A and B are shown apart, each in its own frame.
Chain A
Amino acid sequence: MAIDTITQSTCYHCGNDCTEGHYHFDEKSFCCVGCRGVYQVLSQSGLCNYYTYNDHPGANRARLDKRFEYLDEPKIVNDLIDYTDDKITVVTLYIPYIHCSSCIWLLEQLNRINPAIYYSRIDFLKKQVNVRFSNDGMNLRQLVELLFDIGYEPLISLQDIVKKQLTGQKDNLVRKIAVAGFCFGNVMLISFPEYLGLSEYEQTFRQFFGWLNILFSLPMVFYSGTEYFVSAWNNLRNKVLNIDFPLALGIAVLFIRTVAEILLHTGPGFADTLCGLVFFLLVGKFVQRKTYYHISFERDYRSFFPVAVQVMEEGKEKPLPLSELKVGQRIRIRHNEIIPADAILLQGEALVDFSFVTGESVPVAKTLGEVVYAGGRQTGEALELEVIKPVSQSYLTQLWNNEAFTRQQDNRMRTFNETVSKYFTIVLLVVAFGSLFFWMPADIGRGLSAFTAVLIVACPCALALSTPFTMSAALSIFDRNFFYLKNTAVVEQLARINTIVLDKTGTITTGGSSNAISRHAEFTDLEKQIIYTLCSNSSHPLSRQICQVMGEQPRLAISAYKEIPGKGISAFVNSHQVKIGSASFMHHGVAVNSGTEVHIMIDDVYCGAFIFKQSFRNGLREIFGLKPQYKFYLLSGDQDHERAAMAEFFGDDGYMHFKKSPQEKLDFIKSLQLADRKVMMIGDGLNDSGALKQSDLGVAITDDVNNFSPGSDAILDGKSLCKLPAFFRFSKDTVNIIHISFLISLTYNLIGLSYAVTGNLSPLIAAILMPLSTATIISFTSIATHVAAKKRKLL
C-alpha cells in the first residue's frame, strides 16, 4: 500500500509531487500535461525502457509555450549546423538537461521516433548530442521541436559556448605528453645498462646508447619542452621571474651537458633525468587543466538574449535574427520572453520582471508609450513594441561594454607559487654561480660541472608539481560539492578572502518574482471569488500574484472600482464593499512587521492579510557563522523595504546598502579593496557583473549551473551555499598543504645540492632523486587533500 501511495503522488515522468488535478495515462500519474505528453510520445514509439534505467528521469514540462519558428530562417540555421548538403544535415546541439543513462539511451534512439534521423550520438560530459538527419524527412526546426517534445530542449544562444571552447584548446598537450612518455620510457631502458655497469668488452655499446639518448632527448627539448622556453623568455622580457625560468634553465643545462658528456666521452649524461623532468612537468600541466565542458564562466549578455525575435511586418509575424533587428521595427514579445532591445510599448499590458538586470524583485508595470529597457522578462500577455535602439546600443549592453566592466584584471593576488619562485630563482642562481667561482681558480672543469649540477638538481620539478596536484585534487572536491571554480588559482584566492559581499535578490533570496505568499486568513469560496474578481481588475504586480494564489475563480459583477496608487484598491463586488491594500488603507489593520503586506476588508469586516516575503536560501544562517573573522556586506539594487528582515543577518545599517546601481556596486567593491580588504562578491544577476569582475573573487550563484549566469571566477549551486564556511576552511587547508609540500621539495633540493656543489653529481643520484621527489609530492598532496576534505566533511 505504501508503494501505491508513493506512485500516486509523484509524477511518473519527472518525479515532482502531483498536486490536485493531476493527469492520468496508462494507469500512471503525471503532474502536468507536458509530462504526460512526453510519456505519450515515448510510449507510441515503444521507448518506455527510458523509465526502466532510472526512476523519474524526465525534466518537468510544465511550460509548453516554446516557439521555434526562427529555426526556419536559413541565416540562423546556417550558423547552427555543422554540415549540410542536398541529402543530409549534421548538427551538434547543446542540451543542458542530459544527466543520466536514460538520457543517453533515449537520445540515441531518436530514429525510432522519426526515421529521418540517421544517427544520434551523445557526449555525456559535454552534454551535447550530434545528430545526422535526412533533409527530405525533416528540418532543423522539426528536430528541435522533437527534442523539446521529449523533454530535451536544446539551448540555442548567440554565444555558442561549447564550440568556442573546442577551438580554444589547440596546444597539443596530449601529443606532447605522448611523445615525452615514449622518449622517457626508451631512455630509461637504454640508461639502465650504464647504472648496472658495463664490462670491458661491452664498451662499444656505451657510444651506441649515448647516441640513442641524444636522439631521444631531441624531441623532448625541441617539441615537448618548447613551451617552457617560450614562457620563460616572455616572462624575462616582462621582467618577471616565474617558475618557468629555472625549469627552462634546468632543461637547457641538462641537454647541453648530456650532449657534451656523450660527445667528449666523459660520462653517460643525464638524458633520463631530462626526459623524466619534462614528462612529469607536462603531466602536472595536464592535471592542472580542468575544463568544465558544460559550464561557461565567460558568458555575457549575448547568451542571455534569445537568438531571434518575432518581428511584425505587414501584419504578419516573422522571425528575425537578433543581430539584424533595426530601429523602428515592431517586435512581439510573449509571456516569459526577454525584451532584447530598448523599445516603446505599443500594445499590451506590460508587467516586466527586471530582477536579473536591476535586482528589483517586484515586476514593474509599464504603460503604453513608455520606454521598456532591454533585459526585462515579460510576464503576462503578449506585447507589441517598437525598437528605438539597436541591440548593441541598448542600456543593458552599454552597461556591459562599460570600460570599468570590461577592464582586464590587474589587481589579482599573486599566488604563493609566483611569490616563492621569484626568490627561489635568485637563490638558485647565487648558489650556482657561487660554486662556479669557488672551483674556478683551481679547476675549471670541476667548476663547470658543479655549476651545471646545481642547476640540474635544483630544478624545481617537485615545486612546480605541488601546486597543480594539490589544486586539482581540491578542485574535484569542490565540484563534488557543486562549487565550480574557473581554475586552480581560484582556490588560493578563496583562502585569502576576508570580506564577503552579498547581493540580495536571487542571492540571499531565491527567485526573482516568486516571492512566498503566506495567507494570514481563511477564506470562504465567496470571499475567494470576491478577492479574485477585484484583484483581476488591477495590474499591480501584487494583485497579479494574489490572483495566482487564489487560482481560477468565477468573476463576479463589479462596480465603483477605484485604485489609489501606493494604497490599494476598492470596489463593490456583488454589492459587497471590498477594500484590498496596505494597513493604512484599512484604518484598523493588524500590522505584521515583516515583508510586504496586503490586507483585505469586506463590508468593513477585517478578513486577514497576504504577506509577501522573499524566501531565503537554505543555509544562510550557516554562512553568518563565519562572523567575526569575515565581514559581511549587503549590496542590493532593490528598494530597502526588507531592511528589517536583513538586519538580523547583517547587523547594523553600515553593512547594508540598498538601491545601488551596477556602477555603484563596482565602486563599493573598489572602496573596500582600497581599505585593504580581500573581497568576495556573491551575486547572480547582470547588475552584479561589474562587482563580480572587480572583486578579488566573483562567485555567481545559481539554481541550475547550466542556466545563464554572469561572468565570474566560480559558480556556486544554490543548494551548496550552506557549505561556504567549510569551503573557506578547506581552501586554507589546501594552501597549507602546498606550503608543506614546498618544504618537502626544498628538502630534496638541499640533499641534491649537497652533492652538486662539490661537482660530484652522478647521473644515478640525479635519476633517483628526481622521480623520488616527484612521487613523494604527488602522493603527499593527494592524500593530504583527501584527509583535509574528510575533516571538513566535504567528502
Chain B
Amino acid sequence: MSIIYFLIGCSIILALVFLGAFFWAQRHGQHDDLYTPSVRILLDDQPADETKK
C-alpha cells in the first residue's frame, strides 16, 4: 500500500501545478474582463476589402 504515498504526492503536485496556472492567469490579467470575450466571439470577421453598405 506504500503506493499511496506516491499517488498522494503526485496528486498534490498536480494540484499545485493547477494552482500555479491559476495564479499565472490572474497575474496576466486573464480574469480582468470576464464579459467582453463572450460577445466578441459572436462577431464575424470581415474581409478588409469589403465595402458593402
Q: How far is the CA of A470 from the CA of B43 in the complex (A)?
A: 36
Counting chain B residues whose Cβ lies within 8 A of the other chain, the interface size class is 20 to 34
The A33-65 residues at the B interface (CB cut-off 8 A) are: 43, 46, 48-49, 53
Cα A202 to Cα B5 with chains together (Å): 12
Segment with Cβ contacts to B, from A132-140, A171-179, A259-267, A315-323: A171-179
Question: Closest chain B residue to A42 by CB distance?
Answer: B53
Kindly state the separation between the CA atoms of A205 and B8 in the bound complex, as whole angstroms: 11
Give chain B nearest CB distance to A90 CB in angstroms.
14
A101 at interface, CB cutoff 8 A: yes
- CB neighbours of B15 from chain A (8 A): 182, 185-186
Tell me the minimal C-beta distance from B9 to chain A in angstroms.
10
Distance in angstroms between the alpha carbons of A208 and B12 in the assembled complex: 14
B52 CB-CB contact with A under 8 Å: yes
Separation in Å of the B44 CB from the closest CB of chain A?
8
Residues of B within 8 A of A126 (CB): 33
A190 near B: Cβ within 8 Å? yes
Give Cα A190–Cα B36 distance, bound, in whole angstroms: 39
A124 to chain B, nearest CB (A): 4
Chain A residues with CB under 8 A of B49? 46
Q: Are A112 and B26 also in contact (CB < 8 A) when A123-B32, A124-B35, A190-B8 are?
A: no
Cα–Cα, bound, A105→B44 (Å): 9
Asked whether any CB of chain B lies closer than 8 Å to the CB of A125, the reply is yes
- Minimum CB–CB distance for A27 against chain B, Å: 10
* Chain A residues whose CB sits within 8 angstroms of the CB of B48 once the complex forms: 46, 112
- Tell me the count of chain A residues lying within 8 A, CB to CB, of chain B: 30
Given A104-B43, A124-B39, A202-B1, CB of A174 within 8 Å of CB of B26: yes
> How many Å lie between the Cα of A114 and that of B40 in the bound state?
21
Pick the residue among B16, B42, B52 that contacts A46 (CB under 8 A): B52
Confirm or deny: A108 has a beta carbon within 8 angstroms of a beta carbon on chain B: yes
Q: Does A391 contact B (CB under 8 A)?
A: no
Q: Which of A49, A108, A175, A185 contacts B40 (CB 8 A)?
A: A108
Q: A100: nearest residue on chain B (CB-CB)?
A: B39
- Binary contact readout A178-215 vs B (1 if CB under 8 angstroms, 0 otherwise): 11001001100110000000000110010010001000
- Tell me whether A26 is interfacial, beta carbon within 8 Å: yes
Contact B36–A122 (Cβ < 8 Å): yes
Considering only residues 120-157 of chain A, those with a C-beta below 8 Å from chain B are 122-126
Q: How far is the CA of A451 from the CA of B4 in the complex (A)?
A: 36
The residues of A that contact B33 with a CB separation of less than 8 Å are 123-126
Chain B positions 27-53 with a Cβ under 8 Å from a chain A Cβ: 31-36, 39-40, 42-44, 46, 48-53
B5 pairs with A208, CB closer than 8 A: yes
B4 lies within 8 A of A125 (CB): no
* B52 near A205: Cβ-Cβ < 8 Å: no
Which residue of A is nearest B19, CB measured? A182
Q: Which of A26, A49, A124, A189 contacts B36 (CB 8 A)?
A: A124
State whether B36 touches A123 (Cβ < 8 A): yes
Q: A46-B52, A174-B26 are in contact. Are A179 and B31 (CB under 8 A)?
A: no
Instruction: Decide yes or no: A174 and B31 within 8 Å by CB, A48-B52, A186-B15, A190-B8 being known contacts.
Output: yes
Q: Which residues of A contact B52 (CB under 8 A)?
A: 46, 48-49
Residues of chain B lying within 8 A (CB to CB) of residue A112: 48
Q: Are A179 and B19 in contact (CB under 8 A)?
A: yes
Q: Are A178 and B23 in contact (CB under 8 A)?
A: yes
Please tell me if the beta carbons of B40 and A186 are within 8 angstroms of each other in the complex.
Answer: no
Q: How far apart are the CA atoms of A538 and B50 in the complex, in Å?
A: 55
Query: Would you call B53 and A101 a contact (CB within 8 A)?
Result: no
In contact, A178 and B19 (Cβ under 8 angstroms): yes
Minimum C-beta distance from A30 to chain B (A): 14
Complex partner residue of B51 from A46, A101, A123, CB under 8 angstroms? A46
Instruction: Report the separation of the CA atoms of residues A44 and B8 in the bound assembly, to the nearest whole angstrom.
Output: 64
**CB <8 Å contact, A105 and B43:** yes
CA distance A185 to B39 in the complex (A): 33
Contact at B35–A212, with CB atoms within 8 Å? no
Contact B42 A101 (CB under 8 A): yes
A186 to chain B, nearest CB (A): 6
A665 to chain B, nearest CB (A): 39
Question: Given the interface contacts A182-B15, A186-B15, A208-B5, does A125 sit within 8 Å of B36 by beta carbon?
Answer: yes
Interface residues of A in 462-521 (CB under 8 A from B): none
Give the complex CA separation of A112 and B47 in angstroms: 11
A189→B43 CA distance, assembly (Å): 43
Q: Is the CB of B39 within 8 A of A101?
A: yes
- Cα A24 to Cα B52 in complex, Å, equals 18
Q: Are B39 and A48 in contact (CB under 8 A)?
A: no
Q: Which residues 1-28 of B have a CB within 8 angstroms of A? A: 1, 4-5, 8, 11-12, 15-16, 18-19, 22-23, 26
A502→B8 CA distance, assembly (Å): 65
Residues of A contacting B34 with CB < 8 Å? 125
The docked-state distance in angstroms from the alpha carbon of A635 to that of B15 is: 61
Q: Which residues of A contact B35 (CB under 8 A)?
A: 124-125
Contacts of A125 in B (CB 8 A): 33-36
Decide: A26 and B53 in contact? CB cutoff 8 A: yes
CA distance A26 to B43 in the complex (A): 25
A487 to B45 CA separation, bound complex (whole angstroms): 40
Task: Check A104 against B50 for contact (C-beta < 8 Å).
Answer: no
What's the minimum C-beta distance from A24 to chain B, rounded to whole angstroms?
14
Give A105's nearest chain B residue, CB to CB.
B43
B12 contacts across to A, CB distance below 8 A: 186
Residues of chain B within 8 A (CB-CB) of A174 are 26, 31
Contacts of A46 in B (CB 8 A): 48-52
Kindly list 4 other residue pairs between chains A and B, CB separation below 8 angstroms, not including A101-B39, A182-B15. A46-B50, A124-B39, A174-B31, A186-B11
Considering the complex of A and B, which 5 residue pairs feature the smallest CB-CB distances, nearest first? A124-B36, A46-B51, A123-B33, A105-B43, A182-B19
Q: List 20 A-B contacts (CB under 8 A).
A: A48-B52, A49-B44, A53-B43, A101-B42, A104-B39, A104-B40, A104-B43, A112-B48, A122-B36, A123-B36, A124-B36, A174-B26, A175-B23, A175-B26, A178-B19, A178-B23, A182-B16, A182-B19, A205-B4, A212-B8
Taking Cβ atoms with an 8 Å cutoff, the residues of B that contact A are 1, 4-5, 8, 11-12, 15-16, 18-19, 22-23, 26, 31-36, 39-40, 42-44, 46, 48-53
A residues adjacent to B (C-beta < 8 A): 26, 43, 46, 48-49, 53, 101, 104-105, 108, 112, 122-126, 174-175, 178-179, 182, 185-186, 189-190, 201-202, 205, 208, 212
